[in-house]
A and B are shown apart, each in its own frame.
Chain A
Amino acid sequence: MLLLLRFNAKTVREPIISLTAIKTGALINILKADVGARRGEIIVEVPDEKAKDVEKAIAEMGVELHEITKTIARNNNCVHCGLCVSICPTEVFYVNGDSKIELKTEKCIHCGACIKVCPTNALYFPI
């Protein structure tokens, strides 16, 4: 499961991830971190069976928490060129039997690399 953590001026100074890992014994994989002086955002991947415990532990420490369910999406601008294929670190994009570019969205880690690369502006994160 992917979780988006939002830190405020207070929580951004705490070792939240480490505390949560120790408390729950969950292996937490940080996929993206944007940490500033007064706020921060981290996207983590946690094993499904530990998700409840992790969510509880993080919430108790005063960190805003959102589950990410919507991953990378595509609009009609796509011309199926495939420029995204070699950019995606987790191989979300692949060429199907019809030479079309298809997405395995469950592999998406929200890095956004493909969005910047797409020449027709066809990729986006749904809000």
Chain B
Amino acid sequence: MKTVEDINAKIRKGDVVVVTAKEMKEIVSQIGAEKAAKEVDVVTTGTFGAMCSTGAIFNFGHADPPIKFKKVWLNDVEAYAGLAAVDAFLGATKPSETREFYGGAHVIEELVSGKEVELRAIGFGTDCYPRKEIETTISLEDVNQAVMINPRNAYQRYRAATNSSDKILRTYMGTLLPHYGNVTYAGTGEISPMNNDPEFRTIGVGTRIFLCGAKGYVIGEGTQHSPPFGTLMVKGNLKEMRPEFLKACYFPGYAPSIFLGIGVPIPILDADLARATAIRDNEIKTTIIDFGVARRNRPVVREVSYAELKSGKVEINGQETRVSPLSSYYLAEKIMKELKKMIEKGEFFLTMPVERIKRSEIFKPMKQKEIRIVREFMTRAITISEDVSIEEAAALIVKNNVNHLPVVDEEGTLKGIVTSWDIAKAVTKHAKKVSEVMTRDVVTVFPDDPIAIAISKLEKFDISALPVIDAKRKVLGIVTSETISKMMEVS
């Protein structure tokens, strides 16, 4: 049993043993977890992928006369200014208002590579901040703080994507070819930080990490954190970042985004952590989901392991389908090696979390305004059987003041429908029974259907009522355009 203090003492002395997550798998398989825990002090993990939930907080200093931002743009990309006078948050996926294929990510990249960007702002013009507009150029050297603060990074694992539809889909998971033409997936599997410490014993609030070449920190669980689809919220100084570990990108048909490099050192405190860092791609499972269905709950096509995904080919419905990663293994490995070097050189010390992040959490869907369903609009149906006379049907219509009579058998199963119009026609045709004039091909709805479906059926078939039935076609009630209009007006 080691402590992080023991390990930091070794870093100071220069005899710390650091291996990459890739190397650790081999070590544990050769000498076992117990022995590996004694020999290895730190395992470095890494990931490099597109992480949309990324941005940076800037403080630009005060102008003279001073301004309180109402709106602010950096290279025509708007940053959020609802903070103090000259603070702003620039999001990576915010598109430029003037340039195509350019967004917040590109501004961040240009700043990190030492370039100047144009700042344009309008102000409220208050007594304390009288200025109403400003235009200037700034670089990272000119601003007070430039801190990357990312609500959600470093997904532990992610759902792979495919497309069953007959159209090409341009998504944040890349281009998905029709008819299951390809699969794309994100994450670095067995070398990805959170997969190497799935209990989050050493990755938590306050853990020092490698963030795009700078020393950064985990500041909490990321948004949508839902282990084993865990995420991290991180921060780091933009001024210390290196351009090779940060790359702006643009997903056609989606938005700008940014590739980030994140490395997390895992202190090997005991055999359990050694065992955890020995995890292999074949043990890391995810699902392939179908982006061809544009709903929140996209259908699962199949379960798959990162080992299969990394092989470059997976089978879908008996067909071999080619797979594209979205994360760069090359750069993730480079980050593991870079972090290893920094620790060995005594430039990077480890921290233990001051608070652990949750090991289980549910990722809730958005609470939406209640979807109104047919049941709410349903009224009692006056039913009739098909061998009833036209006179009796007419009497029922008049007595109940309705226009529609669903025709049912003894069990209440729907057989047809007659309307007051049908009865009028029956008189001119000298028909005797309901069965002679009823419509047999009835358009129906289910009680749990959204009311929007009922409305579109009424419009499509140019009718004024729909019998509401259950799965066995038993009539439960009726929904009429009259009732819908009345109830919609009220609400």
Contacts and interface: CB of A to CB of B under 8 A. Distances in A.
B329 A83 contact: no
Nearest to A88: B322
B227 interface: no
A108 to B, nearest CB: 17
Contacts of A119: 50, 174, 249-251, 257, 259
A120 B247 contact: yes
A116 interface: yes
Interface string B170-214: 000011010001111000000000000000000000000000000
B324 interface: yes
A87 B252 CA distance: 14
Interface size class of A (residues with CB under 8 A): 20 to 34
A86 B329 contact: no
A31 to B, nearest CB: 18
A116 B252 contact: yes
Contacts of B175: 83, 87, 116-117
A92 B200 CA distance: 40
A81 B328 contact: yes
A73 to B, nearest CB: 19
A40 to B, nearest CB: 24
B344 interface: no
Interface stretch (A10-18, A43-51, A95-103): A95-103
A49 B48 CA distance: 47
Contact of A86 (B50, B184, B248, B331): B184
A37 interface: no
A101 B48 CA distance: 14
B325 interface: yes
B247 A85 contact: no
A80 B182 contact: no
Contacts, number: 77
A84 interface: yes
A100 B330 contact: yes
Contacts of A81: 49-50, 259, 325-328
B247 A79 contact: yes
B264 interface: no
Tell which of A81, A84, A121 has the most Cβ of chain B within 10 Å: A81
Contacts of B326: 81-83
B324 A84 contact: yes
Interface in A60-109: 77, 79-87, 95, 98-101
Interface string B383-422: 0000000000000000000000000000000000000000
B312 interface: yes
A79 B328 contact: yes
Nearest to B101: A121
A99 to B, nearest CB: 4
Nearest to A84: B324
A86 B182 contact: yes
Tell which of B248, B324, B327 has the most Cβ of chain A within 10 Å: B324
Contacts of B48: 79
Tell which of B177, B252, B330 has the most Cβ of chain A within 10 Å: B330
B333 interface: yes
A82 B325 contact: yes
B108 to A, nearest CB: 14
A80 B328 contact: yes
Interface string B17-51: 00000000000000000000000000000001110
A79 B247 CA distance: 8
B330 A99 contact: yes
Contacts of A101: 330
Nearest to B50: A119
B329 A80 contact: yes
A99 B328 CA distance: 8
B324 A77 contact: no
Interface string B242-271: 000001111110000101000000000000
Interface string B308-334: 000010000000011111111111010
A87 B321 CA distance: 11
Contacts of A98: 330
Tell which of A83, A84, A95, A101 has the most Cβ of chain B within 10 Å: A83
Nearest to A85: B324
Q: Which 8 A-B pairs have the closest CB atoms?
A: A119-B249, A86-B182, A99-B329, A86-B324, A86-B322, A80-B330, A82-B325, A99-B330
Interface of A: 77, 79-87, 95, 98-101, 116-117, 119-121
Interface of B: 48-50, 101, 174-175, 177, 181-184, 247-252, 257, 259, 312, 321-331, 333
Given A80-B329, A80-B330, A86-B183, 12 more contacts: A77-B247, A79-B247, A82-B328, A82-B329, A83-B174, A85-B325, A86-B323, A95-B329, A98-B330, A116-B252, A120-B248, A120-B259
6 contacts: A80-B329, A82-B328, A83-B175, A83-B326, A117-B174, A120-B249
